């Protein structure tokens, strides 16, 4: 099924090859946390761009995209349907702001993954239910589900 969304436009503004960065048409920056983090394609890239444009930050740090390794078995990342947004230590976002931006962007399921005592905390957003993210992870709920590890 072909995408109904317009083809997203990003400008590569990378200054440090270790941390690729892209500017949206609205002038906001998507910063990848390293060269192993891959931008998604198609509708998920459009959703990521809209998330960046809607979240209220000038720069949003992304720690997961369409890479097929480094995620759980069956992960929606490998299918190109998920993103990970660096947690509150790196992105000055509230859970409610992240939830609202994700919903507006077209993500349907997600959670905040809280790795207590580490710097791995992040919001995981995906398009569609699956890989352990079902009804309690729906973004239609009033609050974002928080998974503690």
Percent of the chain with pLDDT over 90: 81
- Write the pLDDT tens digit of every residue in 61-80: 999 999 988 888 888 998 99
In 9-149, where does DSSP find H-type helix? 42-54, 95-105
Residue 1 pLDDT > 60: no
Integer CA distances (angstroms), 63 to 80, 119, 134, 135, 146, in order: 14, 11, 22, 24, 18
Q: Which domains does the chain have, with CATH numbers?
A: 10-148 (3.30.1380)
């Amino acid at each position: 099924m072909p995408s109904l969304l317009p083809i997203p436009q990003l400008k590569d503004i990378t200054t440090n090859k270790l941390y690729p960065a892209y500017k949206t048409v609205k002038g906001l920056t998507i910063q990848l946390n390293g060269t192993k983090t891959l931008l998604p394609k198609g509708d998920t890239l459009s959703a990521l761009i809209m998330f960046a444009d809607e979240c209220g930050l000038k720069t949003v740090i992304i720690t997961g995209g369409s890479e097929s390794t480094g995620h759980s078995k069956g992960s929606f990342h490998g299918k190109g349907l998920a993103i990970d947004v660096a947690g509150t230590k790196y992105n000055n976002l509230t859970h409610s702001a992240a939830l609202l931006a994700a919903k507006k962007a077209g993500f349907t399921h997600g959670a905040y993954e809280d790795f207590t005592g580490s710097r791995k905390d992040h919001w995981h957003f995906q398009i569609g239910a699956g890989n352990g993210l079902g009804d309690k992870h729906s973004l239609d709920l009033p609050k974002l589900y928080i998974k503690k590890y």
